[in-house]
Structures are given as C-alpha cells and as structure tokens.
Amino acid sequence: MNAPSELPLQASTNAFPLDRWYVAGFSWELKDKPVGRTLLSRPMVLFRTPDGAVGALEDRCCHRELPLSCGTLEKDGLRCGYHGLLFNSAGHCIEIPGQERIPAKAKVRSYPLRERDQILWLWVGSTPDSQPNCAPPAYPVHSDPRYKFDGDVYHYDAPYQLIHDNLLDLSHLGYVHLKTIGGNAKIHMNAQLKVEQEDEVVRVIRWMPESDPPPTYSAAWPFKGKIDRWQEVEFKLSHIQVWTGAMDQGTGALDDPQREGFHMRGFHGVTPETETTAHYFWTIATNPHPDRDDVTQLVVDQTAATFEEDKIVIEAQYRNQLRFGPRPMIDIHVDVGPNRARRVIAGILKRQASAENMSESV
C-alpha cells in the first residue's frame, strides 16, 4: 500500500498524459439525463441522444455559462437549461430560441467519446483539435458468454496513482480483506512474484499454491480442500485488468491460460478527476459453477465490499501524506509492480513536456 518513495506524487498543473483514451463511465449510466463529470481537471457533460449516439462536451454553455449538465436531452442534441440554446455532439449551437442567426462563436469544446464493450472511452487531446489516432481498447470479457458481470463507479479523495499502487500490490489482501477475498496474510506476502514489462504495459503475476480458500471463493465454488491460487494484474495507463481465481490443489497448471476453476476478472478504469481526486470505474466478472445457484450477485457485492475497504485505506493514506508532508518512505519487495507503473507514467509525462517545450520554441 506504500506509495513508492523514489517517484513523488504529481504536483504540477494538468500533469496528466494526454492524447490517449481514458475511461469516462459505463454505457448504462447514460439514460434520459446528461451526466456531469470532471475528468483530467476538465469539467465535461456526457450524454446520449434518443438515436443512441453519445457525446461529450465542455460543461459550460457559451451564452451565460450554466453547466450544460443542467440541461435536457432532445433528438438533435443537448439543450441548455437557462435560455434553451441547443448543442449537437460536435459542440456547435444549432438553435437559439427566438433568434434565426447563430453566431459562429456559439460553440463549446467537444471531446471524442466512444462506446466499446459497455465502456465509455474518452479521448483527451493535447490541443482542442486533437483526434484519436487509434480505436479505444477492447474488453471482450463483458461479452464472453462464460462470464456474468456487474460494476459501479466510486469517487476517491486521493490521487489516481495511489489506486494504481493498491491494484498492483495485492499482498495487502491478507490484511485489508479478511472477510472476503483475503486469506492467509503470510502466504500473500510470500507469494511467488513475477513482474514483466513491455513498453507501457506492466504485468504482475502472483501464484499461491496450497492455500486455504477465502470466504468469497468458498461461497462461490465447491472446492474440495486446499486450492492453487493465482493473481494476474495487467497495468495500462487507461485501465488495469485483474484476473484472480483458484482451482483445487494439483488439478491444473497455474501458467495454463485455459485453466479451470473459479475465476474473477476485474476491470478497473482509474481516471484522474483532478490532481488530488480520482474516479474509479470497475466491473467484476465471474463464471458461475453449473452445480450451484448463480452467485454472481454475491461475488459482485463482496467485491464492492473489498473496494470500500480499499477506499478507506487509500484515502486515509493520502490524508496522512498531507498531514505529515513530504517524507522519505521505504520500499519492500511487493513494491516492484507499483514502482514500474509509476516510472511508465513519469516517462510519458517527461516526453510530453519535452514535446511541448519543442513546440513552443519553434
């Protein structure tokens, strides 16, 4: 849970990697009302028009600055709730009630918003004209017939990289999540650990053979006794995928991608709100056992309980960092994954700053 000592928390304004996709929410959030949400220090309004198209605009009417998230949805776009200006998904005002002429400046900034696998992906560019240079990431688990899933959105009063640290170091499970997915703390701290990196992707693999099944696992799957347990975490800047699970001891290989047993596949979209706050978009998918009643809701509820526990710890950690101010912190063996991820982000920000400086000097 410790924030790595060698890489400080971001402190400069707008110190976020740009020109890439971030998670902005889930498809099911956009119904008959617009959703106001600040992402990367940019207040935005997300919406879906009756024809199913989605849009993301700056959350500010260009007339008298009422948040557009206070408006209403219509066939052709989003209408401001103050004087009725109507904006399309490109941010152009297409109607001013009682006035035929629409000024050329009657527009607001729009952001590319795409839906894929029930995830809303937002492209935040380094300039207002920046456009995506690739498709948003795929997450086929959400459409895999072997799995059932659900999820939620949490708000954190803590910087987003502290959430990365938590997800990339699952050794804390034996101390923080004793009633759900925890298990023997000693086994967690001594798990076989492998950390790999490929460009901006960091993978943390932890194996825990001959473990006792924790409460959530026992409730969801008919294990016969000891289990061979795995935890595989893949960090990408836009999101983290966590594949955890277990099978009866000795019934399969932990490195087999088609291994049997109980599976939990977690999607974690960690998107900064500001430099000191974050949004946490998560889903959990599981494979119900054919001989048991569907326990998907139990798995979802207990997963939510673990994330509530994480939230308490992370926000308390950050409050303490503010209370004590900058102090040296030690690293231990479980910090390898979080350290690698922080280096990836620091490298991106360094290259981004260099490109901005070169652009300004031309």
pLDDT of 129 reads: 85
Class of domain 27-111: mainly beta
pLDDT of 189 reads: 64
* Inter-residue long-range contacts of 250-256, CB under 8 Å, 24+ positions, other chains counted: 252/228, 254/207, 254/209, 254/228, 254/230
CB 142 within 8 A of CB 174: no
Helix (H) or strand (E) holding 86: strand 86-87
pLDDT of 2 reads: 40
- For the chain, what is the largest distance between any 2 Cα atoms, rounded to a whole number of angstroms? 75
Pinpoint the residues of the chain covered by CATH 2.102.10.10: 27-111
CB 283 within 8 A of CB 304: no
**Which pLDDT tens digits describe the chain residue by residue (362 residues)?**
344 433 333 333 368 999 999 999 999 999 999 999 999 999 999 999 989 999 999 999 999 999 999 999 999 999 999 999 999 999 999 999 999 999 999 999 999 999 999 999 999 998 888 899 999 999 999 999 999 999 999 999 999 999 999 999 987 777 776 666 655 556 566 667 899 999 999 999 999 899 999 888 998 999 999 999 999 999 999 999 999 999 999 999 999 999 999 999 999 999 999 999 999 999 999 999 988 888 899 999 999 999 999 999 999 999 999 999 989 988 888 889 999 999 999 999 999 988 887 776 66
CATH architecture of 140-348: Alpha-Beta Complex (3.90)
pLDDT of 182 reads: 59
pLDDT of 9 reads: 38
Pinpoint the residues of the chain covered by CATH 3.90.380.10: 140-348
pLDDT of 14 reads: 60
The model carries a pTM of: 0.91
- Residue with structure tokens 């303490």? 320
pLDDT of 234 reads: 98
pLDDT of 69 reads: 98
pLDDT of 6 reads: 38
pLDDT of 13 reads: 39
pLDDT of 279 reads: 98
pLDDT of 171 reads: 79
pLDDT of 175 reads: 72
Q: CA–CA separation, 177 vs 214, rounded Å?
A: 10
